[in-house]
Chains A and B, each alone.
Chain A
Amino acid sequence: MSQQKADIFAGLQADILRLQGFKTVQNTVLEAGLGPLKYAFPNATFPCGAMHEFIAARPEETAAAIGFMGGLLNLLMSSNGSVLWISSSRMLFPPALQSLDLSPDRFIFVDVQKEKDALWALDEALKCSALAAVVGELPNMSFTHSRRLQLAVEESQVTGFLLRNQPRTVGTTASVSRWQITPLPSASLDDLPGIGFPKWRVHLQRIRNGKPGTWDIQWMDGRFVPVYQPTFTIQQTQQQAG
């Protein structure tokens, strides 16, 4: 009896997810690349046709957010996808994308002056299913606009990233997830001098139908490598000891 009920619940939950616009797209590359992060997502799959929001309070955080986003784009673009980058104040240095194993010539940048144009361009781009992903650099986003964008991606199944640099207010949006990426001191390999692999604290603040959480992640050799914190366990043992 309980088994039957569990099946019914699972079926209903899947229905709800489907009705909310979560279409499970099989993307094994994406799942393999995400590591422990994927258990935060509904059905343990990264929601592809959805808007993801990144909040960055400082330019350093913006760089970290783009670094993390670059890792996701890398998985989404696979062999020949292209990405549209819409921005009103772009500071991205195209040759640097090479360090994230992305080829910069597959990025198309749209630089707009007015916020209204940026929203229009973002909306149009998200409707174009030929793109692997769309990145919009827009600090401020109202709920109405974000819902419009979310509806557009549900139709076209394009993955949208919204990068919000120093937003006036964070507010509520219809995006599926909200992330904040902060840089962490890089870990040097074998005590080599200099800067090691980039390391970030990934803070998934909100995820619809998933489990928010915090992870430490390193970008090594073109993939995400989760960092487990030994310090945390030491602190615990210290606490237990008194």
Chain B
Amino acid sequence: MARRYVSIWFRYLTTDWYALRQPQLKTLPFVLRTSEHGRMVITAANAIAEQQGIARGMLLADARAMTPSLQVLDDKPDLAGKLLNRLAQWCIRFTPVVAIDPPDGIILDVTGCSHLWNGDIPYLQSIITKLYTRGYHVQAAMADTIGTAWGVARFDDSIVIERSKHIEALLQLPPQALRLEPEVIERLHKLGLHKVKQFIRMPRPSLRRRFGNHFMMRLAQALGQQDESLHPIELPEPYHERLPCLEPIATAPGIEIALQQLLEKLCARLQQEQKGLRKAIFKCYRVDGKTEQVDIGTHLPSHHIEHLFKLFQLKISSIEPALGIELFILEAPVVEDHHPQQEAMWQGVGGLHDIRLAELIDRFANKIGIHAVHRYLPDEHYWPERSFKEATSLHEKPTTAWQDKPRPLQVLKAPEHIDVTAPIPDYPPMLFRYKGKVINIVKADGPERIEQEWWLQQGEHRDYYRVEDQAGNRYWLFRLGHYHEKIYQWFIHGFFA
């Protein structure tokens, strides 16, 4: 069967994507830039900018001089590749064989597909309109060979080249349409060969001698004399398991059995692929058409059936089966690589890397909430309230050492104001009154002055004293501000062991 191909050209791929996210950009000239050898170079320009003469590869300074109102955004590396991959996955609805054609195209093998859309033209129009309504400027063409479709999509207005008419279509195109190297194109133009028809009838040996093997290969591919292979993309198979039930399930043990079965299937697959799930959703489709769902999250990727089951078990009671559930679906939307550890070595007390600890934290996070679990690391601040920060994970290592200054084990949520008798100028207090009791101070250490970090917060410094009373109770007091300014205040901040 004769093959048919469609080539889609995303003329403004990356700029279209930015315009979709920021609709105000649609009516403005804007470019994407990246830094190259210390200069800002334009990597993509939208249609309005291109009309004003700005092109890819120009220096940003030059473009700004031409169009002062130019909007500039940072280009993301490999954005085009990711977008093409996503669009190619979306194009699977038109044909099973979709390949990426870097830097800005997609090629579809549409052999035997178009009759489902009642012919070639409605088929291609449907592709173009669907992509256009998504917000992309596209040009597409259908032909017998990949090379012709590619060239026609970019250098001609016709969209469908009829069967075995591809050579005629090719004749009117410029040599760029043959996907040649830039030097070869330049040489062809220098020789006055501005159209394919001018050189296609020349003897092959002389063409090969002048323009090389690559030129001959591209020409043969466009004419259909040489096969060109596609590398179709593979759709990632979603982590998804279904369990239909013959009889509606309405009891908690029934739901648990269903969940167990689904988890076994899903975890077997995850284990085989050395993956672990970070998030899972358990959906129950009820007889009355409603859907009940519960979801869980894990701290580390996991395919441990027992652990995941325990996490779900905490939430099963929230499922209302009503008249019964006829279909269970278990999905894992977030999956990460998980390399198995040698677990037997960790029997006994393990450290923070112990998998059992991670599982325990998961149970807390799912029942109480992840905000309830804290772990702290030292931070480079002297101000006591800022001297530690929250760790983002169990494995995060401290970047600095913990301060070795004496600090109280118990601190008040906020320092409490106290009345103090203290000899001036800088001696520790003699007695203070806290919660209606007078506390006589026998021993004291200090002061330890801690200055405000003015770049974070304005205010007075603190002079900290460690004091001990007759009974041996030890307190952490501080004076806010200087004595001589008469605006100082005393506070109690904590209790030492």
Contacts and interface: CB of A to CB of B under 8 A. Distances in A.
A interface: dominant SS: mixed
Contacts of B409: 63, 66-67, 70, 92-93, 96-97, 99-100
Contacts of B348: 129
Interface in B433-468: 442-445, 466-468
Interface in A52-73: 58-60, 62-64, 66-68, 70
Contacts of A93: 384, 407-411, 494
Interface residues of A, number: 58
Contacts of A92: 409-411
B406 A99 contact: yes
Contacts of A185: 442-443, 468, 470-472
A117 interface: yes
A194 B483 CA distance: 22
Interface in A126-142: 128-132
Contact of B368 (A70, A84, A121, A193): A121
A240 B43 CA distance: 99
Interface string B348-371: 111110111100110110011000
Given A93-B410, A106-B352, A108-B361, A194 B443 contact: yes
A110 B346 contact: no
A241 interface: no
Sorting the interface of chain B by its residue count into under 10, 10 to 19, 20 to 34 or 35 or more gives: 35 or more
B444 A194 contact: yes
Contacts of A132: 349
A39 interface: no
Contacts of B443: 185-186, 188, 193-195
Chain B interface SS verdict (over half): mixed
B311 to A, nearest CB: 12
A108 B474 contact: no
Contacts of A58: 473
Interface string A81-93: 1101000000111
B308 to A, nearest CB: 16
B375 A108 contact: yes
B407 A60 contact: no
B364 A98 contact: no
Contacts of B349: 78, 80-81, 129-132
B126 interface: no
Contact of B473 (A81, A108, A130, A183): A183
